[in-house]
Chains A and B, each alone.
Chain A
């Protein structure tokens, strides 16, 4: 199977401090990859480099057979195929829930209003938020906001979904509803890269778990292999700290 995403020797530094020190990662269509690691390990930066919200310093990212780091590539077109879910939701505050889910369809894909709304309502139903279409996002709970953010990304019919710690800003009682939506999405065959601290989720849903530390991928493997028999001491130490 051809990978949908091929990352080779990706590097990035902020003000001379290296954050990614040569990352290699392939993601197959339909695969769910969870990236774990302590804060500052570079996992969020890796995710943000994948759709060029951060411009990488070096290396290559091939997505749908095209090189993202090539200045000639239409990055905006490719971004439309990569859904991104942020830790802090980032719902557009000047629009309703429905507006959040239709604006990009209309501006980027040039869809008519009615078609965009139909797709948006469909996506909102998938996350159980169709009843809130006309609401102001400010009036929603954190879990509801994040579900709308997922629907907003899904409305663009992406080939891959990137999740940047999607439950880290939520109150504990709201984590479950968001993870349930993500589980259903994974079961539907969506390709997903999930940066997360939810070890139980990674274990239950991931096809592959990647452990990052200090800007490198230390170890990757099936959840069973990585969580039960980590090969590297750094992985074992991280998991011990997590259980403690």
Chain B
């Protein structure tokens, strides 16, 4: 006997619901413009919204795809490199002089911690669009806008991830460190063998979240002329001067990217038994 859809397991019920919603959307589009074949095959862009959208999506799918790939690549590389920089930052940030340190060492540690604190303040406290313009037009250190974009996203994300990691480290019970030290481990050994792996595990969901935030925020790199998804859309919109269709399509693409990636991350979280992320930050 087949169980009714309403008594199925939640996952199956969700699948049915999604299929129904998809069918409804297709149905509405069809009702508005029954002649999909004609729209996508048209020589010039149809006047109505649905026809225009289908035409734009069909004809410029490759351009949208180029933009989406650029966006995802920059976000992913930026998050990974940002994580690496964040490791260094949080290491510097956590330096604190002890009574046993010589004066020069104590000074160095305070300087390192202040530097990391300052770095986080600057990169979290200024808009990424300003950072991008500053490094590209201002300093002009980079020959390639794409490389500059990777750099900007990396150094920006590093500031956020450093704070996530610092919180993750603080959330590890100090008894863990004490137990490691009591067995004779040096501070560095206790940190890397015991505290840090637990901190990273706690932080991974929030770091995944930064990745998704980056997918949206890399749109600001259009200011330095990178053809990521948003800038690519501006280019497409300009071809036929049809803004509404192009931006509606890109909104849907961004939504599919972020919800898809978010779903993917939550599968990973479940698989590795990670804690659920905090609410995403507002940017």
State the A residues within 8 Å of B (CB).
51, 53, 55, 71, 76-84, 86, 88, 90-94, 103-104, 107-108, 149, 152-153, 156
| 19 interchain pairs, CB-CB under 8 A | A53-B178, A76-B181, A79-B182, A81-B184, A83-B182, A83-B183, A84-B179, A84-B183, A90-B175, A90-B178, A90-B179, A92-B176, A92-B179, A103-B193, A103-B194, A104-B180, A104-B183, A104-B184, A107-B193
Asked if A94 meets B183 with Cβ closer than 8 Å, knowing A53-B178, A107-B189, the reply is: no
**Is A156 a contact of B184 with CB atoms below 8 Å?**
yes
Other 4 A-B pairs with CB < 8 A, given A104-B185, A108-B185: A78-B184, A88-B175, A92-B180, A94-B194
B271 contacts partner chain A, Cβ-Cβ < 8 Å: no
Q: Roughly how many angstroms separate A242 CA and B226 CA in the complex, as a whole number?
A: 75
A192 and B173 CA atoms in complex are apart in Å by 26
- Knowing A90-B175, A92-B194, A103-B193, the reply to whether A156 touches B183 (Cβ < 8 A) is yes
Nearest-neighbor residue (CB-CB) of A153 within chain B: B183
- Interface range on chain B (Cβ under 8 Å from partner): 20 to 34
Q: Closest CB-CB distance, B85 to chain A, in whole Å?
A: 24
CB–CB B175/A93 < 8 A: no
Do B99 and A55 touch across chains, with their CB atoms under 8 A apart?
Answer: yes
When the two chains form the complex, which single residue of B186, B198, B201 contacts A76, counting CB atoms closer than 8 Å?
B186
> Chain B contacts of A90 at CB under 8 A?
173, 175-176, 178-179
The verdict on B127 contacting chain A, using a C-beta distance below 8 Å, is no
CB distance from B174 to the nearest CB of A (A): 9
**CB < 8 Å: which of B173, B176, B182, B193 contacts A53?**
B182
- Complex Cα–Cα for A71 and B100 (A): 6
Residue B197 CB within 8 A of the other chain = yes
Which residues in A have their C-beta under 8 angstroms from that of B98?
55
Q: Is the CB of A107 within 8 A of B185?
A: yes
CB atoms of A108 and B184 under 8 A apart: yes
Question: Top 7 nearest A-B pairs by Cβ distance?
Answer: A80-B184, A104-B183, A90-B179, A90-B175, A84-B182, A108-B184, A94-B197
Contacts of A104 in B (CB 8 A): 180, 183-185
| CB pair B178 A80 closer than 8 Å | no
Is A108's CB under 8 angstroms from B99's CB?
Answer: no
**In the bound complex, CA of A80 to CA of B182 (Å):** 7
Known: A92-B194, A93-B198, A107-B189. A77 touches B184 (CB 8 A): yes
Beta-carbon nearest neighbor of A107 in chain B: B189
Shortest distance between the CB of B102 and any CB in chain A (Å): 9
Using CB atoms, name the residue of chain A closest to B199. A94
Give A94 to B197 CA distance when docked, in angstroms.
7
CA A156 to CA B189, docked complex, whole Å: 16
In the assembled complex, which residues on chain A have CB atoms less than 8 Å from the CB atom of B184?
A: 76-81, 104, 108, 156
Q: Could you tell me the distance between the alpha carbons of A149 and B207 in the complex, rounded to whole angstroms?
A: 33
A77 to chain B: which residues have CB within 8 Å?
184
Interfacial chain B residues near A149, Cβ < 8 Å: 179
Q: Is the CB of A86 within 8 A of B180?
A: no
